[in-house]
Amino acid sequence: MFSFCTDPATLSDLPWMACYLTTGKHLNFYWAFGTVLLLLAITAPAALAFGFAGASAARSRFAPLSLVGKTYIAIVRGVPDIAFFLFFVIALDQGLEYLKHQWVCPDWDQAIRQGNDFIVCQAAKVPLGTSPQWVHKTYSFFVAAFTFAIVFGAFAANVLYGAMRAVPRSQLETAEAYGMSQRQTFRRIVVPQMWVYALPGLSNLWMVLIKSTPLLFLLGVEDIVYWARELGGSKTPRFTDYPHGDWRMWYFLVLLVFYLAFTRVSEVVLDRLMARLTLGQATTGGEAQRRAET
């Protein structure tokens, strides 16, 4: 990046470090922090949407729909996250390629499943082998984000299901007495009030989601953990012009500071949101605020 970086071997300590930290590969490392934040920005609302749909289905009086919601919650929560991530990504990828194969290659006369190999025509590859590298990276990222949303959506569904049941029964009976239908009661009474009961669980889930972002590394996405390992290792081919010892400890220390700072900011925001939601509510938090004001 700097003009004096043409020959790293002739540089002293400070200019050498300035050149080292501003290479294109380090810019990818800095950009990877944005990748993590983008994953959280996409996954959190998507998981909340999956969770709300799953919780609504689980509490439905229509037995088949209730069974679907409870099965989704039970299966996804019962499978280890890493196992589900690795299985679901492969299954989703092969499922998309199979459907596309049936559409674009109807005359294919070979078996798709050949032993341990999954073989489709080249036109059915998702994405195509001729696609630019950024297309492959974007596809991998959104598959990973969708997988995160499915997994954490099940946990969110369990939290929201409990929150919906925590709304006082007397309020539901009052709504029925006023002639509200079941749908109106759910929309006007249950949904507005369930968040105060759901927020503690959702707050914990948000923290777990933050700590789970390094799993992107296992899904083939070049995230901050990937670049920290690559740039910090002493035997990595990433830096032939800037040889150094094993600096992984320092790179992972940067990640430690990043995650601690991010979770601290999250705690402050969630505490303020909780105080706002409990204001005037007949809960422990709302009662504490009422006493503090008097």
pLDDT single digits (tens) 30-74: 888 988 899 999 999 999 999 999 999 998 888 899 999 999 999
Q: Is 82's pLDDT higher than 60?
A: yes
pLDDT the model gives residue 159: 93
β-bridge mates for residue 231, sequence order: none
Question: What is the band of 13 on the pLDDT scale with cuts at 50, 70, 90?
Answer: confident
**Percentage of the chain exceeding pLDDT 90:** 23
The residues facing 15 across adjacent strands are: none
Q: 41 or 95: whose pLDDT is higher?
A: 41
Q: How far apart are CA 205 and CA 263, in angstroms?
A: 12
3-state secondary structure of 118: strand
As a whole number of angstroms, the distance between CA 169 and CA 178 comes to 14
* DSSP-assigned letter for residue 179: T
Helices (H), 59-132: 63-78, 81-104
More confident residue, 276 or 235: 276
Dihedral angle computed from the Cα positions of residues 64, 80, 82 and 87, in that order, rounded to the nearest 10 degrees: -40
Number of domains, the chain = 1
- pTM for this prediction: 0.80
Q: Give one word for 222, left, alpha or beta, with left for phi > 0 and alpha for psi -120 to 50.
A: beta
Neighbours of 238 (CB within 10 A): 16
Average pLDDT, the chain: 82
| Range 233-257 average pLDDT | 76
Cα–Cα distance, 136 to 240 (Å, whole number)? 27
Domain region containing 142 = 3-293
CA distance linking residue 133 with residue 155, whole number of Å: 34
The answer to whether residue 221 scores a pLDDT higher than 50 is yes
CATH code of residue 140: 1.10.3720.10
